Amino acid sequence: MEISISHITVALEQKTIINDFTGRFQTGQLIGIKGPSGAGKTTLLNTIGLLQTPTSGSITIDGEPVLNLHERRKRYFYRNIFGFVFQDFKLLDDASIKKNLAIGTRFTKPHQALTIRQALTAVGLPGVDQKMKVAKLSGGEKQRLALARIMVKPTQIILADEPTGSLDSVNSDAVFNILDQIAHHDNKTVIVVTHANAYDNAFDQLYHLPAEG
């Protein structure tokens, strides 16, 4: 899906976090957003994902203005369009792998089982015991599971906030490669906030936010 961002400014408590950001993201692109701490990277990601309202500016998705959607339409975007990936995973540690992946899906049981197997295979966890509690997984496995969770849903826009920030280099490379596959093979729009420099050349577009907006 195409995202068009025009002159977005976000100010909180009289402090400008993002100042006049403009960009256009295309379907099938891997987009990077970088900048020093406090530059507003996460704020920008949350604004694109309709989790935060900007002070001014506009955002359209496939031509539809999205900043003033009514709640029902906004819920549709959360359930069917956006997939969020976080540095701290946001998984249910005390629940099984299968339950984490099944939450929010509306498939028949056979279709659900097939979709979950396919997603786990795609993220490099083909033989994992789906009854295992998430708490027993390593950090790298948890982030792969978080990616599998967005793959079992009909998401079109992936918003990843420091998805490799807490991982070692091997797991970071694996997670980044999965995001690259989601963009270029699955033809989805993937936006990644990152501090890492290792992947700069892999992005189709790379935006640098200045310090303090």
State residue 87's pLDDT score. 83
State residue 51's pLDDT score. 95
Query: Residue 144: in which H helix or E strand, if any?
Result: helix 139-151
Q: Do strands 56-61 and 3-12 pair parallel, antiparallel, or not at all (unpaired)?
A: antiparallel
State residue 95's pLDDT score. 96
Q: How is the beta sheet containing 3-12 ordered, strand by strand?
A: 15-25, 3-12, 56-61, 64-65
CATH homologous superfamily for 3-208?
P-loop containing nucleotide triphosphate hydrolases (3.40.50.300)
Q: What single letter denotes the amino acid at residue 130? A: Q
**pLDDT profile of the chain (213 residues), mean per 10:** 97 92 97 93 96 97 96 94 90 94 79 91 94 95 93 93 90 94 96 93 96 69
Question: Which residues are CB-neighbours of 125 under 8 A, at least 6 positions away?
Answer: 141, 144, 145, 148
The Cα–Cα gap between 129 and 77 comes to 31
State residue 212's pLDDT score. 67
